[in-house]
Chain A
């Protein structure tokens, strides 16, 4: 049933072959096709602009007040591309290999190789748009090594690469809006997918300002709605990031793949209190110079500067002598958690030190300021501590979700006409994403993959003429209204926020950095209980026909409460450890993740069976024709 549709033939020729074999739509005919794009991050803005440039009729939606504010904007570090400008041995195949290995062999070879191939075009496109990438004195593009990669293939624009790439895509989108080829709906949220005769034909939206519920019809629907990290309540995601669009599509038949794959980023500013709404990431580039440590003994009360070397445990350097502080994200995160579980965490127990004293001694404060000035300033702003004088305190936090709606090689879900791009799909990062690869995937999907695969879909499928008067639209709209009215009519005693926090705590405790059967079963028991209480006792103030942020959030939390259960279910059934998914039952003697390639070298995709019912688990076997599966080792 799950056909990945990866083309046959040698790896390096698959994409070219597929492009050639794809059906085309004559330029004069493109205006006859309409496309709905939901989300305006890198994937959504790039796809909207590109498809409009080609001549399709595009309608684009975002819940933010402007497409420029999608959360892609917050990515700091950079974007990978196999340009090999440094002459240091990079190649498309190496980027492909690193990504497959980094993902702990849980991604499709064909997709990942295509990603590596088009990575080079992305940089060219962005430069042409005027993205101010860092340059060398000779005027050429600068690169840096990132996330432990052994080549310098990361392009960057200071610590704001995501912002600059998004503004590039946003400007291309605004140009098309100006030309009248894209109809933009901001402050508009998608609340239902409309499926007619088994194909995706439209969406139901709510205008967040007026509350108007509207029907939109098209020949294809593209979901570019990002990840679901906020199921944990506290994450580095934006407040508005949510699972609603993909969850609503899932409820209409789209399979959800690998929901348990979550990336916990090791270097975030620790939690400070109960009323905190958000965790802030500190770029992992800091680990190039920062040494991570905790006191050797529990109950240490001295200030960090007063603790002598002999009483410090540089645990990453001790356990991984060759990679040291630069081990991959999942390894760094788990080890920080382990020392905190031993009771050696600092600042109340849930933080470790990241110390720059040695680096400052070695290269001088000036150089450190040059390298990380903006990050140090940000840290100081948030914590009111000076990291030049005292070690930073860091702790892991939820950052990115590798799981998402299942898609084939064409980025189409199992529902024909429903395409899923960027973080919202599951396709390219396997069980763990490498640094600087998220931006690459979002733009690859939007600029260089969907224009071909959508054309192929239109060229090979006959689309029935449908209007918004179709019964399926009426039903979907009625469902939206019913849900809104229900939320507003409960008038309970607990706030939406309190439910979100309660769910987040269960998710973090039982489905976080380390998972086990007992905890996951507990989550599977607790989440439906919280959900039941939510629908009995939530307090949603205001009305449905005006600007109502509580109502917006209530709908999103309601979906997280359904989604969280599937997440825990997937984590329970994946009886192995891989990448970001660490099951305590499955570890090596040295506490490293232990994969089970015989039984789990597959994608798990879930089919919705009804509210509160156990979803059906479908399997797509991963085929490795080019790489050999090995145990990752960073000793």
Chain B
């Protein structure tokens, strides 16, 4: 092996931070029909540089070596954009760090010997699948109810044919940044999906392209939200507090306005 491309895997270069021990209480549930329970696991030698999900990988390696079944948890991009990861960590959706997804949460946010309680998102509209994995198809169904502009491919005007005020465009982008992780539902005392729904309604209401279907969109999405079993908004603001993309409650206020203008 003459080439060294820079040893990358299995390479420990002395700046891995310190290591700590953790005590984990993890929700285990075989499937949607079986009752779940907490299991306790001890993990030592956890580098503070690790991400939270690296730590769960480490736990799963340990469990596999012990001949036990690893903990199922949802994850994919591990860079905070796909919205797949979830987890209620010590009572906080996506863990203790502000505006940070679980995959971007690092072990340095925890202390040596700390007990970490890990639970799945809990909501009627997010039924459990296994361990920490839940089914968030309800979000897709909510988008299906109207979270789009009904244009087909082809036959659209030039991108610059309709001017869009920068301010509207920026606000639309603020709302469109939603990653659909479901933390808002998980943290809401009422398991309400208002922040998620309002982000999409706002995004499209703020742009000229969204105007034609504006009234039907809000009416249909609100109805879908109820039918899917999400709770009502009682304006706590927990959703806004945990949202990793800092989607704000002014979107919910805008949805409320859109709703009565559509209703009247």
Our verdict on whether A and B bind, yes or no, reads yes
How close is A71's CB to chain B, nearest CB, in angstroms? 6
Within 8 A of B (CB), among A258-294: 271-278, 280-281
Interface residues of A in 508-526 (CB under 8 A from B): 508-510, 512-516, 518-519, 522
Chain B nearest Cβ from A506, distance in angstroms: 9
Which residue in chain B gives the minimum CB-CB distance to A169? Answer: B153
Are A273 and B12 closer than 8 Å at their CB atoms? yes
Interface pair B6/A340, CB less than 8 Å apart: yes
Dominant secondary structure at the B interface: loop
* Interface assignment of B129: CB less than 8 Å from any CB of chain A: yes
Is A381 engaged at the interface, CB distance under 8 Å to the other chain? yes
Q: Is the Cβ of A234 less than 8 Å from the Cβ of B8?
A: yes
A382 contacts the other chain (CB 8 A): yes
Binary per-residue interface labels of chain B (73-94) against chain A in the complex, 1 for a CB within 8 Å, 0 otherwise: 0111111111110000000000
Kindly list chain B residues whose C-beta atoms are within 8 Å of the C-beta of A275.
47, 50, 54, 57-58
**Per a CB cutoff under 8 Å, which of B68, B140, B162 touches A174?**
B140
Is A239 touching B76 in the complex (CB atoms < 8 A)?
Answer: yes
| Complex CA–CA separation, A136 to B80 (angstroms) | 28
Q: Are B130 and A510 in contact (CB under 8 A)?
A: no
Q: Which of B100-108, B111-119, B226-234, B254-262 contacts A (4 or more CB under 8 A)?
A: B100-108
Which A residues are CB-close (under 8 A) to B4? 341, 509
- The number of A-B residue pairs with CB atoms under 8 Å apart is 294
Asked if A277 and B11 sit within 8 Å, CB to CB, the answer is no
The minimal Cβ–Cβ distance linking A584 to chain B, given in whole angstroms, is 7
Instruction: Tell me which residues across on chain A come within 8 A of B204, comparing CB atoms.
Output: 130
Contact status B149-A129, CB under 8 Å: yes
Looking across the interface, which residue of chain A has its beta carbon closest to that of B150? A175
CB distance from A10 to the nearest CB of B (A): 24
B159 with A71: CB separation less than 8 A = no
Known A66-B139, A73-B81, A541-B69; judge A132-B2 contact (CB<8 A). no
Is the pair A64, B176 in contact by a Cβ cutoff of 8 Å? Answer: no
Interfacial chain A residues near B70, Cβ < 8 Å: 541, 549-550
B165 contacts partner chain A, Cβ-Cβ < 8 Å = yes
Q: Is B35 interfacial (CB-CB < 8 Å)?
A: no
| A172 x B148 contact (CB < 8 A) | yes
Tell me the bound Cα distance from A495 to B8 in angstroms: 19
Q: B132-185: which have CB < 8 Å to A?
A: 133, 135-137, 139-140, 143-145, 147-154, 156-160, 162-166, 169-170, 172-173, 176-177, 179-180
Count of chain A residues near B, Cβ 8 A = 108
Chain A proximity of B191: nearest CB distance (Å): 18
- Tell me the bound Cα distance from A46 to B5 in angstroms: 37
Picked from A64, A395, A505, the residue with its CB within 8 Å of the CB of B9 is A505
Q: Is A347 an interface residue (CB 8 A)?
A: yes
Of B2, B53, B136, B150, which is within 8 A of A65 by CB? Answer: B136
Q: Nearest-CB distance from B47 to chain A (Å)? A: 5
**CB of B52 to closest CB in A, whole Å:** 11
The reply to whether the CB of B40 lies closer than 8 angstroms to some CB of chain A is: no
Are the CB atoms of B144 and A177 closer together than 8 Å? yes
- Interface stretch, picked from B20-28, B59-67, B235-243, is B59-67
User: Which A residues are CB-close (under 8 A) to B54?
Assistant: 275-277
> A514–B3 contact, CB under 8 A?
yes
A-chain residues with CB within 8 Å of residue B53 when the two chains form the complex: 277
Q: Name A539's closest neighbour in chain B (CB-CB).
A: B64
Query: Are the CB atoms of B76 and A547 closer together than 8 Å?
Result: no
**Would you call A350 and B1 a contact (CB within 8 A)?**
no
Cα distance A329–B25 when bound, in Å? 44
Is B72 an interface residue when CB atoms closer than 8 A count as contact? yes
Q: Which residues of chain B are within 8 angstroms of A531 by Cβ–Cβ distance?
A: none
When chains A and B are docked, how far (Å) is the Cα of A606 from the Cα of B146?
45
Residue among B3, B7, B179 with most chain A CB within 10 A: B3
Tell whether, in the assembled complex, residue B136 and residue A66 are in contact, meaning their CB atoms are under 8 Å apart: yes
The reply to whether B159 and A124 form a contact with Cβ atoms under 8 Å apart is: yes
Q: Are B5 and A164 in contact (CB under 8 A)?
A: no
Expressed in whole angstroms, the minimum distance between the Cβ of B80 and any Cβ of chain A is 7
Are B3 and A157 interface neighbours, CB within 8 A?
Answer: no
Out of B49, B79, B137, B172, which one reaches A273, CB within 8 Å? Answer: B49
Contacts A163-B81, A509-B4: A497 and B61 contacting too (C-beta < 8 A)? yes
- Per-residue CB contact flags for chain B residues 11-48 toward chain A (1 = under 8 Å, else 0) read 11111110000000000001100000000000000010
Distance A273 CA – B12 CA, assembled complex (angstroms): 5
Residue numbers in A under 8 Å from B77 (CB-CB): 69, 71, 73-74, 238-239
A335 to chain B: closest CB distance in Å?
13
A1 within 8 A of B: no
The stretch among A23-31, A137-145, A196-204 that forms the contact with chain B is A137-145
Judge whether A509 and B78 touch: CB under 8 Å. no
| Cβ contact within 8 Å between B169 and A132 | yes
Q: State the Cβ distance, A145 to closest chain B Cβ, in Å.
A: 18
B209 within 8 A of A: yes
In the complex, are the beta carbons of B207 and A130 less than 8 A apart?
yes
Across the two chains, which residue of chain A brings its CB closest to B144?
A178
Known: A129-B151, A233-B9, A274-B11. A238 touches B78 (CB 8 A): yes
When each residue 29-46 of chain A gets 1 if its CB lies under 8 Å from chain B and 0 otherwise, what string results?
000000000000000001
Chain A: minimal CB distance from B126 (Å):
11
Q: Does A363 contact B (CB under 8 A)?
A: no
Known contacts being A163-B81, A381-B100, A451-B153, is A139 close to B166, with CB within 8 Å? yes
With beta carbons under 8 angstroms apart, the residue of A123, A163, A171, A271 that contacts B147 is A171
- Contact of B96 with A by CB under 8 A: no
Q: Collect the chain B residues with CB atoms within 8 Å of residue A508's CB.
A: 5-9
A522 to B4 alpha-carbon distance, docked (Å): 13
A209 touches B209 (CB 8 A): no
Of B64, B145, B177, the contact of A178 (CB 8 Å cutoff): B145
CA distance A416 to B67 in the complex (A): 45
Is there an interface contact between B136 and A50, defined as CB atoms closer than 8 Å? no
A463 interfacial contact with B, CB 8 Å? no
- Across the interface, B209 reaches (CB within 8 A) one of A128, A137, A522, namely A128
Determine the residue in chain B with the shortest Cβ distance to A522: B1
> Is A273 in contact with B50, judged by CB distance below 8 angstroms?
yes
CA distance A69 to B147 in the complex (A): 16
Task: Decide if A350 touches B6 in the complex (CB within 8 Å).
Answer: yes
Contact with B along A345-362 (1 / 0, CB 8 A): 101111000000000000
A337 within 8 A of B: yes
Q: Which residues of B contact A340 (CB under 8 A)?
A: 6
In contact, A174 and B61 (Cβ under 8 angstroms): no
User: What separation, in Å, do the CA atoms of A498 and B67 have in the docked complex?
Assistant: 15
Cα–Cα distance between A486 and B4 once the two chains are bound (Å): 36
Query: Is B108 a contact of A384 with CB atoms below 8 Å?
Result: yes
Measured in the bound complex, the distance between the Cα atoms of B75 and A153 in whole Å is 34
Q: Is A108 an interface residue (CB 8 A)?
A: no
* A448 interface hit (Cβ, 8 Å): yes
Q: Which residues of A contact B158 (CB under 8 A)?
A: 124
A481 at the interface (CB under 8 A from B): no
Question: Which chain A positions have C-beta within 8 A of B75?
Answer: 239
A299 on the B face (CB < 8 A): no
Q: CB within 8 Å of B: which of A112-145? A: 121, 123-130, 132-141
In the bound complex, how far is the Cα of B160 from the Cα of A83, in angstroms?
A: 10
- Please tell me if A426 contacts chain B, counting CB pairs below 8 Å: no
Determine the chain B residues whose CB is within 8 A of the CB of A509 once the complex forms: 1, 3-5, 7
13 sampled A-B residue pairs with Cβ under 8 A: A66-B137, A124-B158, A127-B156, A128-B151, A129-B209, A139-B163, A186-B140, A233-B9, A234-B9, A238-B76, A272-B17, A513-B6, A584-B2
The 8 closest A-B pairs by CB, nearest first: A348-B13, A139-B163, A512-B5, A171-B148, A128-B156, A505-B9, A178-B144, A273-B16
Known contacts A73-B82, A274-B12; 4 further A-B pairs (Cβ under 8 A): A129-B149, A378-B104, A509-B5, A549-B70
